[in-house]
């Protein structure tokens, strides 16, 4: 499809550009070429900070340094960023939770640094921009922003406010808007017209994501203190096709390796009603098997949010509702080769659990022509076929239900349902392959 989904391009040229921009240099044995094969599971080891740093051979350090109208880890002493409350999803390490008051606590008095916002997703940038106006009492017209800021104890509506801002706030607004433009330019796109669930970042083709920083300075656990995050990357001295990485948040360390990691950590907010900002590694794999690994920092350690990587690029505001739900897409071979949109929800332990759907649509529906006569079930629960189709008729593969029964439509709506065998590629109770019945099914590796 003309991108890293098929070619598995190396991330190291990107890393070298970051290093050169920040006045450092990464030495590698070579800039490896495209690699082929199956994606490997990320092998994660939680290490002590000093041991992990000692294990690294090459270190890369980045410099520390709309509108609805329409340095060290330290608490902000001039304003509280903490509202203490009990939270049902409490980590074993924290009994009391601080409801986050600000995305950027000092944005009304201090210039925003790049590392405070460079790795935030589009939703967090939008909230950070609008909280500048919210401090003055701006009355939000958008329902979602109005509801969000009314959860903050400091927000007081002022109908007389006319969007006046200080010189510092004006500069900070411009800084945030600049990053909003960069993030938008690197947003997810649909890779293929025949399957809208195949999504990838524009940077995989255009190399326009080098505004991302290897260091971030963000309050990750909502306690009012800035957490220092550092991403260290190196080419494996054992296998040139593998990238080794270490992530540090304050004194906590996470280490792993991958054949296709996007070389930055994306910071998101899966649920604006809890104190955490989550962060994610995203991987395009050795054969373009996209996946996302979500984590959160509980104030002491870096906690994984699923046992394995979740299928699809998911750390993007367009797929996150801010209420604990996020979408992904997994490749399946039921009836044809296609990507089924998946849904995940946060549980009480701040883990992502897959939510079963009644129906998984194919978007757009795949146009098919019958090669032979065919009988369909009138409803998915029927046991006797009653809908008769003739050779040469046109139908559309619309998707499958939660029991892998296939729905076929025509221009007027649902035509009927089809049961498949256990292999998911033959008609139930027969040895007739789907490709012998339909012309036009998607079959690819």
Among 376, 18, 79, which Cα is nearest to 219's? 79
Cβ burial, residue 302 (10 Å; 0-12/13-18/19+): buried
pLDDT reported for residue 15 = 41
Q: How far apart are the first and last CA of the chain?
A: 11
pLDDT tens-digit profile of 203-230?
Answer: 776 666 789 999 999 999 999 899 999 9
Residues of the chain with pLDDT under 70: 1-98, 205-208, 287-288
What is the per-residue pLDDT for 332? Answer: 94
Query: Do 309 and 49 meet the contact criterion of CB atoms below 8 Å apart?
Result: no
Check residue 96 and give its pLDDT: 42
pTM over 0.95: no
- Phi and psi dihedrals of 279, rounded to 5? -140, 155
Print burial letters for 51-69: b (CB count within 10 Å at least 16), e (below 16). ebeeeeebebebeeeeebe
From 225, 330, 252, 279, select the one nearest 45 (Cα to Cα): 252
Q: How many H-runs (helices) and E-runs (strands) does the chain carry?
A: 9, 24
CB 137 within 8 A of CB 158: yes
- pLDDT, residue 18, reads 43
Note the pLDDT of residue 83: 33
Q: Which of 379, 218, 352 has the alpha carbon at shortest distance from 297?
A: 218
What pLDDT is recorded for position 207?
A: 66
SS3 68: coil
> Cα 113–116–118 angle (5° rounding)?
95
Write the Ramachandran bin of 434: left for phi over 0, alpha for psi from -120 to 50, otherwise beta.
alpha
Quote the pLDDT of residue 172.
Answer: 98
Residue 284: the pLDDT is 85
Which pair of tokens denotes residue 50? 């000093």
Burial class (CB in 10 A: 0-12, 13-18, 19+), 177: middle
């Amino acid at each position: 499809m003309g991108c890293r989904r098929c070619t598995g391009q190396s991330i190291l040229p990107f890393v070298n550009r970051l290093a050169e921009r920040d006045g450092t240099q990464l030495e590698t044995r070579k800039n490896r070429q495209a690699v082929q094969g199956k994606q490997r599971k990320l092998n994660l080891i939680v290490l002590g900070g000093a041991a992990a740093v000692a294990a690294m051979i090459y270190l890369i350090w980045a410099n520390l340094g709309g509108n609805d109208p329409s340095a060290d880890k330290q608490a902000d002493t001039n304003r509280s960023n903490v509202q203490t409350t009990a939270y049902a999803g409490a980590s074993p390490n924290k009994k009391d939770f601080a409801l986050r008051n600000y995305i950027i606590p000092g944005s009304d008095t201090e210039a925003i640094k790049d590392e405070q916002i460079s790795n935030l997703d589009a939703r967090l940038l939008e909230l950070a921009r609008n909280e500048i106006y919210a401090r003055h009492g701006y009355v939000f017209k958008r329902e979602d922003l109005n509801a969000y800021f009314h959860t903050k104890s400091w927000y007081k509506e002022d109908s007389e406010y006319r969007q006046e801002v200080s010189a510092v706030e004006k500069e900070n607004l411009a800084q945030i808007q600049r990053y909003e433009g960069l993030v938008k330019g690197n947003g997810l796109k649909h890779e293929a017209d025949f399957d809208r669930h195949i999504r990838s970042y524009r940077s995989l083709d255009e190399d326009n994501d080098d505004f991302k920083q290897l260091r971030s300075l963000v309050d990750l656990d909502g306690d009012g203190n800035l957490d220092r995050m550092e991403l260290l990357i190196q080419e494996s001295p054992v296998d040139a096709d593998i990238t080794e990485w270490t992530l540090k948040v304050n004194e906590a360390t996470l280490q792993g390796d991958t054949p296709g990691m996007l070389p930055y950590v994306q910071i998101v907010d899966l649920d604006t009603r809890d104190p955490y900002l989550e962060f994610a590694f995203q991987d395009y794999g050795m054969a373009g098997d996209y996946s996302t690994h979500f984590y959160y920092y509980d104030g002491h350690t870096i906690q994984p949010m699923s046992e394995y990587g979740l299928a699809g690029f998911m750390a993007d505001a367009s797929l996150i509702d801010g209420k604990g739900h996020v979408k992904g897409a997994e490749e399946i071979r039921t009836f044809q080769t296609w990507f089924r949109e998946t849904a995940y929800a946060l549980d009480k332990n701040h883990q992502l659990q897959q939510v079963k759907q009644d129906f998984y649509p194919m978007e757009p529906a795949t146009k098919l022509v019958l090669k032979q006569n065919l009988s369909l079930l009138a409803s998915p629960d029927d046991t006797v076929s009653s809908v008769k189709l003739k050779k040469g008729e046109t139908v559309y593969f619309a998707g499958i239900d939660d029991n892998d029964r296939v729905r076929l439509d025509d221009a007027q709506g649902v035509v009927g349902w089809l049961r498949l065998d256990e292999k998911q590629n033959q008609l139930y109770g027969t040895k007739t392959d789907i490709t012998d019945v339909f012309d036009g099914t998607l079959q690819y590796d």
